[in-house]
């Protein structure tokens, strides 16, 4: 299995936030979902991969080429969708296309027209007249019209209605029928990832908590529900990454499933957490879980 993106000791230091030195790879031929709470560093990481923000330390390799040395070549092969709109508002879609297309050696006008049709956008529409969701669709049409082998998207489903969100996921699944293609996208909507992602990279406070296949993640984590009295034992409390207590009992996430099963026996219910559960309890837990796993 080839690596499409390789991060080696990549870090970024802002005044009030830092991406801690991070090493990981994203696989060719798969969809990787980048998740994490607000301010976790997802956009910063994507901007470093795209060369928009320079890392403080480390090296980024894409398609086996150095991001910093071969940026222009690499960008020919990447379709990028940002959560910010970088188009000239006063132009029509057609005029904007006339500016963007010449940058790409493999620009495909027919593919662009087909995508506009599919997204119900007309080339005559002025960019300033587009809604947030329509601008996102336009960004997708641009990103998908130069036969890129790697699609990187920052929150592509933000601002999209549920019908189009599902259509977008279908479109991504179609793209993945070609096994040379790879997709990396960030999202808050973890149910989208349950549907289509193969790998999940989870950032929290600028640290990579995990970057694993969905199956590996599902095997590792266990959600425990039980009476509050169980938490009184320090040995029980210690195994949780995060716990939520309520009047009727507690719910907690652990990656020490066998241990907890042996301690609590039948006095608690164990089940598989969703990605949202994992994100919620890790964010809530506040323990140095990231450091423990990576
Ligand atoms: N140019 C910058 N200068 C200083 N701090 C920055 C800069 N860009 C981002 N940050 C800070 O880095 C942190 C991470 O921001 P980032 O946008 O990467 O998070 P995110 O995970 O994408 O969040 P969200 O899900 O809310 O979009 C935030 O605290 C933000 O204020």
Which residues 6+ apart lie within 8 Å of 175 measured at CB?
A: 144, 151, 181, 183
Domain range for 253 is 218-293
Closest CA to 151 of 78, 71, 43: 78
Whichever domain contains 42, its CATH number is 3.40.50.300
155 CA to centre of ligand 1 in angstroms = 14
pLDDT of 289 above 60: no
- Mean confidence (pLDDT) of the chain: 90
Task: Specify whether the CB–CB gap between 19 and 45 falls below 8 A.
Answer: yes
Residue to mutate (ligand 1; options 16, 18, 39, 184; most atoms within 8 A of CB) = 39
Residue 294 scores a pLDDT above 50: no
Least confident of 125-129, 197-201, 246-250: 246-250
Which of these three, 184, 216, 248, is where a domain ends? 216
How many CA atoms does the CB half-sphere of 235 hold within 13 Å? 6
Residue 163 shares a structural domain with residue 275: no
Nearest protein CA to atom 25 of ligand 1, as residue: 38
User: Which stretches of the chain are DSSP H helices?
Assistant: 42-50, 71-76, 93-100, 109-118, 132-143, 162-175, 190-196, 214-220, 234-237, 257-264, 275-285, 289-293
Output the residue whose Cα is nearest ligand 1's atom 8. Answer: 44
pLDDT at 188 over 60: yes
CA 103 to chain CA centroid, nearest Å: 26
If asked whether residues 128 and 235 sit together in one domain, one would say: no
Please identify, by atom number, the ligand 1 atom nearest to the C-alpha of residue 41.
18
Angle, in degrees to the nearest 10, between helices 132-143 and 109-118: 150
| Closest C-alpha residue for ligand 1 atom 23 | 39
Helix (H) or strand (E) holding 208: strand 207-213
Residues 241, 174 share a domain: no
Predicted pLDDT of residue 190: 86
180 and 92, same structural domain? yes
Residue 184 Cα to ligand 1 midpoint, Å, equals 18
Determine the 3-state secondary structure of 94 from DSSP: helix
For the CA of 36, the nearest atom of ligand 1: 21
Residue 1's pLDDT band, with cuts at 50, 70 and 90, is low
Q: What is the pLDDT of residue 288?
A: 41
188 and 165 housed in the same domain = yes
Same domain, 175 and 240: no
> What's the CA gap between 7 and 32, in Å, rounded?
14
Which residue lies with its CA nearest to atom 26 of ligand 1?
A: 38
Q: Which is higher by pLDDT, 132 or 285?
A: 132
Residue 171 and residue 163 in contact, taking contact as beta carbons nearer than 8 Å: no
Query: Counting atoms of ligand 1 from 1, which one is nearest the CA of 188?
Result: 25
How far is 178 from 147, CA to CA, in rounded Å?
11
Pocket test for ligand 1, best of 11, 41, 82, 203 (most atoms within 8 A of CB): 41
Residue nearest to atom 5 of ligand 1 (CA): 14
Ligand 1 atom 13: the closest Cα is on which residue?
39
Mean pLDDT, rounded, for 130-143: 90
Same domain, yes or no: 115 and 65: yes
Q: State which of 2-16, 160-174, 184-198 shows the largest mean pLDDT.
A: 2-16
Does the pLDDT value for residue 59 go beyond 50? yes
Domain count, the chain: 2
How far is residue 46's CA from residue 53's CA, in Å, rounded to a whole number? 9
Written as six digits, the tokens of 15 are 């005044």
Nearest CA to ligand 1 atom 7: 14
CA–centroid distance, residue 208 to ligand 1 (Å): 15
| Residue at a domain's end among 154, 188, 216 | 216
Please report the pLDDT score of residue 192 as a whole number: 83
- Distance (Å, whole) CA 81 – CA 91: 19
As a 3-state breakdown, the chain gives helix, strand, coil percent values, each rounded to 5, of 40, 30, 35
C-alpha–C-alpha distance, residues 165 and 147, integer Å: 22
Cα of 266 from ligand 1 centre, angstroms: 44
Is residue 61 domain-shared with residue 191, that is, in the same domain?
yes
Token pair 């403080």 in the structure block, residue: 56
Using a 6 Å CB cutoff, which residues line ligand 1? 14, 17, 36, 38-44
Q: Over pLDDT 70: what percentage of the chain? A: 96
Point out the domain boundary residue: 216, 232, 255.
216
Q: Per residue in 226-261, pLDDT tens?
A: 999 888 887 888 899 999 999 889 999 999 988 888
Q: Strand 31-35 relative to strand 207-213: parallel, antiparallel, unpaired?
A: unpaired
């Amino acid at each position: 299995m080839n690596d499409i993106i390789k991060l080696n000791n990549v870090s970024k230091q802002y005044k009030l936030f830092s991406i801690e030195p991070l090493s990981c790879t994203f696989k060719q031929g798969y969809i990787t979902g980048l998740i994490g709470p607000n301010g976790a560093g997802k956009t910063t990481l994507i901007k470093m991969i795209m060369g928009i923000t320079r890392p403080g330390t480390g090296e980024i390799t894409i398609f086996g080429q150095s991001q910093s040395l071969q940026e222009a070549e690499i960008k020919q092969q990447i379709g990028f969708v940002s959560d910010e709109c970088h188009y000239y508002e006063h132009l029509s879609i057609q005029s904007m296309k006339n500016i963007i297309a010449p940058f790409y050696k493999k620009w495909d006008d027919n593919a662009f027209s087909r995508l506009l049709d599919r997204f119900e956008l007309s080339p005559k529409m002025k960019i300033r007249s587009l809604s947030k969701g329509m601008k996102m669709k336009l960004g997708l049409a641009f990103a998908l019209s130069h036969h890129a082998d790697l699609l990187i998207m920052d929150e592509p489903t933000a601002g999209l209605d549920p019908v189009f969100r599902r259509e977008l996921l279908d479109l991504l699944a179609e793209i993945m029928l070609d096994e040379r293609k790879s997709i990396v996208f960030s999202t808050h909507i973890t149910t989208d990832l349950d549907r289509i992602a193969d790998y999940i990279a989870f950032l929290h406070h600028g640290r990579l908590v995990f970057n694993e296949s969905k199956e590996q993640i599902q095997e590792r984590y266990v959600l425990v529900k039980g009476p509050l009295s169980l938490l009184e034992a320090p040995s029980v409390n210690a195994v949780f990454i995060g716990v939520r207590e309520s009047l009727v009992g507690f719910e907690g996430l652990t990656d020490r499933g066998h241990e907890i099963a042996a301690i609590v026996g039948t006095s608690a219910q164990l089940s598989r957490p969703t990605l949202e559960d994992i994100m919620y309890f890790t964010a809530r837990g506040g323990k140095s879980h990231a450091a423990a796993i990576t």
